[in-house]
Amino acid sequence: MLAGLFSFKGRLNRIQYVTIILAGYLLPFVAYMVFSVSVRRTDLIDLVGLAVIFGVTWIFFAAMAKRFHDIGKSGWACLLFFVPVVGQLTPIALMIYPGENKTNEFGAVPIYF
């Protein structure tokens, strides 16, 4: 399951994509709230925080690439995220745009959880 989060291969349907995006926003926030109250700030905590940010960013881009695969586009379309204005709308558009209902070059139709 975890390997699937970090992989850029395969497809994600809209429900899976939204679940990953929401978890990616909420889990680091909850972890920050717990650690900020219970742990004294040190360089180690900053390093762990940086690693979490890197991991979540990787998961976001992997989810976007797999969602682009579901609509029949290349995962390289994730680079649209870095285009001003368009980049802010890309993750939202991926939540709305339906995927292909047939097997494409990126794999079979994804099943629900």
**What confidence category does residue 38 fall into, taking pLDDT thresholds of 50, 70 and 90?**
low
Q: What beta strand segments (E) does 1-113 contain?
A: none
Burial grade of 14 (CB within 10 A; 0-12, 13-18, 19 or more): middle
Question: Which of 25-39, 41-55, 57-71, 99-113 is the most confident on average?
Answer: 57-71
